[in-house]
């Protein structure tokens, strides 16, 4: 089946290349029994892809169950997924089948998989690896034959590092990844979606179809749509009901778009941070430190020249020399770096012999690792161990700071 027919069948609107590629992957993996992990922002339309996988698989005549893991309380999710026996817990007045038992021979779609408790993740991993599960309150092992498709709007790799998601389960789920691009990266599809929604609501509420002038279309396509397709649909419905004038101008449509702090900056889907990104931050910091070191040495030379030669060839008397040295020889000199949240670097007091020797370099460690450890320790002490504030002060992400703390054993 070609892409056009698939889009029509599953009501997918858009021609963006990334969207087409995601649909193609879903069709290709459908005949297999491989697990699929669908990633993408909330509201981007991830729920369409499990349906494609199911309908193009050999299980299409079996059950299809969609479960929102984030909407089920932690205390009852095991019962919902795997079932329970009578009397297993308070309120369990009779035995109940779980979704994995009911969906035997079909497909289960677990949305917001990142919200699963760790105890439930262990049970889920066993089902994926052996097809076995145990009802809550039972000791009898049961078998099930299901195809699992999962979806998430968070970076699961971050959750793994934070200890909130099992690494073995992540690799088991991520056999075939599908990424659904956010709406702002499908600008050519925004107006197509608006027209579809406007037409649907015109029929639903029995009113003329909304239309946009050219400038209004540009406003629509340049907006960030952080809520993605869901946000566009809701705003289109709102305008369809409220507006009397059916041809909208740019000024009119702006009234319905929430203001954004940085409308020109894209809010990218969060990917795993690489070592190179941290390396660039570190290189900038160390370049600043080396620049400040060079400035200190230049200042030493200048003070030495002033005290020995005077100003403009005029010799300084003892009182003037003492004043110049006093201005330089502070108890503590603070130099503020212009980036990395303005970290303060203290330059130790320089004695008189150091001023006289213009070639002497202040002894300090030039190891990048030592400097990095020193700055991290200072930031943590400054904020009483609060890593979030320390990371902001250092100009790096909290996750990067957490990783560096573990790397250097700074716990």
Query: In sequence order, what are the beta bridge partners of 133?
Result: 142
Q: What pLDDT is attached to residue 259?
A: 82
- Please say if the pLDDT value at position 350 is more than 90: no
Q: Find out whether 129 and 171 touch, Cβ atoms under 8 Å.
A: no
List alpha helices for 131-264, DSSP H: 156-161, 167-173, 187-205, 214-222, 228-242, 250-254
| Structure confidence at residue 284 as a pLDDT band (50, 70, 90) | low
- Average the pLDDT over 377-391 and give the result: 84
Mapped onto helix, strand or coil, the DSSP state of residue 309 is helix
- Please say if the pLDDT value at position 394 is more than 70: yes
Q: Cα separation of 255 and 162, whole Å?
A: 41
Q: What DSSP element (H or E) covers 22? A: helix 17-29
Higher pLDDT, 356 or 191: 191
| Structure confidence at residue 275 as a pLDDT band (50, 70, 90) | very low
Superfamily of domain 3-181: P-loop containing nucleotide triphosphate hydrolases (3.40.50.300)
- Please say if the pLDDT value at position 16 is more than 90: yes
Mapped onto helix, strand or coil, the DSSP state of residue 237 is helix
Average pLDDT, the chain: 82
| Structure confidence at residue 322 as a pLDDT band (50, 70, 90) | low
Q: Find out whether 135 and 88 touch, Cβ atoms under 8 Å.
A: yes
Within 13 Å, how many C-alpha atoms sit on residue 298's CB side?
6
Burial of 38 from C-beta contacts in 10 A (0-12 / 13-18 / 19+): buried
**CATH number assigned to the domain covering 184-254:** 1.10.8.60
Q: Quick one: which of 184, 187, 239 has its CA closest to 212?
A: 239
Q: What pLDDT is attached to residue 356?
A: 46
Q: What DSSP element (H or E) covers 134? A: strand 132-134
- Average the pLDDT over 24-39 and give the result: 95
Q: What are phi and psi of 64, to 5 degrees?
A: -130, 120
- Average the pLDDT over 120-144 and give the result: 95
Structure token digits, residue 276: 């190179």
Q: Cα separation of 182 and 247, whole Å?
A: 27
- Please say if the pLDDT value at position 359 is more than 70: no
Q: Find out whether 408 and 354 touch, Cβ atoms under 8 Å.
A: no
Q: Cα separation of 86 and 326, whole Å?
A: 85
- Please say if the pLDDT value at position 246 is more than 70: yes
Q: Cα separation of 257 and 76, whole Å?
A: 39
Q: What pLDDT is attached to residue 272?
A: 41
The predicted model scores a pTM of 0.62
Q: Find out whether 213 and 245 touch, Cβ atoms under 8 Å.
A: no
Residue with tokens 């079996």: 62
Mapped onto helix, strand or coil, the DSSP state of residue 108 is strand
Q: What pLDDT is attached to residue 366?
A: 56
Burial of 375 from C-beta contacts in 10 A (0-12 / 13-18 / 19+): buried
- Average the pLDDT over 348-377 and give the result: 59
Q: Which of 83-92, 112-121, 239-248, 332-341 has the lowest mean pLDDT?
A: 332-341
Higher pLDDT, 183 or 389: 183
All structural domains of the chain with their residue ranges: 3-181, 184-254, 277-407
């Amino acid at each position: 089946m070609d892409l056009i027919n698939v889009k029509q069948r599953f009501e997918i609107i858009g021609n963006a290349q990334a969207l087409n590629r995601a649909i193609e992957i879903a069709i290709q993996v459908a005949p297999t029994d491989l697990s699929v992990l669908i990633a993408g922002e909330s509201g981007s339309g991830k729920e369409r892809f499990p349906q494609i996988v199911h309908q193009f698989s050999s299980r299409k005549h079996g059950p299809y169950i969609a479960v929102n893991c984030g909407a089920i309380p932690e205390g009852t999710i095991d019962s919902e997924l795997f079932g329970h026996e009578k009397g297993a817990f308070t309120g369990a007045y009779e035995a109940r089948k779980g979704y994995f038992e009911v969906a035997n021979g079909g497909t289960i779609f677990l949305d917001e998989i990142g919200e699963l408790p760790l105890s439930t993740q262990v049970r889920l991993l066993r089902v994926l690896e052996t097809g076995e599960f145990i009802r809550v309150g039972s000791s009898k092992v049961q078998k099930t034959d299901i195809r699992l498709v999962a979806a998430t709007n968070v970076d699961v790799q971050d959750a793994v590092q934070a200890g909130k998601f099992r690494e073995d389960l992540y690799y088991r789920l991520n056999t075939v990844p599908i990424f659904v691009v956010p709406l702002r990266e499908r600008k050519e599809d925004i107006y197509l979606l608006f027209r579809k929604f406007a037409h649907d609501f015109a029929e639903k509420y029995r009113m003329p179809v909304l239309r946009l002038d050219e400038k209004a279309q540009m406003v629509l396509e340049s907006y960030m749509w952080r809520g993605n397709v869901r946000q566009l649909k809701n705003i289109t419905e709102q305008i369809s009901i409220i507006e009397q004038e059916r041809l909208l101008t740019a000024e009119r449509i702006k009234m319905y778009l929430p203001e954004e702090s940085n409308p020109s900056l894209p809010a990218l889907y969060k990917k795993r941070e690489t070592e190179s990104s941290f390396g660039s931050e570190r290189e900038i910091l160390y370049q600043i430190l080396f620049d400040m070191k060079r400035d200190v040495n230049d200042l030493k030379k200048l003070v030495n020249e002033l005290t020995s030669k005077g100003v403009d060839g005029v010799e300084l008397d003892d009182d003037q020399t003492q004043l110049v040295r006093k201005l330089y020889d502070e108890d503590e000199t603070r130099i503020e770096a212009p980036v990395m949240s303005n970290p303060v670097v203290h330059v130790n007091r320089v004695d008189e012999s150091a001023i006289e020797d213009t070639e002497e370099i202040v002894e300090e460690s030039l190891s990048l690792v030592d400097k990095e450890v020193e700055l991290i320790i200072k930031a943590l002490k400054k904020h009483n161990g609060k890593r979030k504030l320390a990371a902001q002060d250092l100009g790096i992400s909290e996750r990067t700071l957490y990783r560096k703390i573990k790397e250097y054993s700074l716990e």
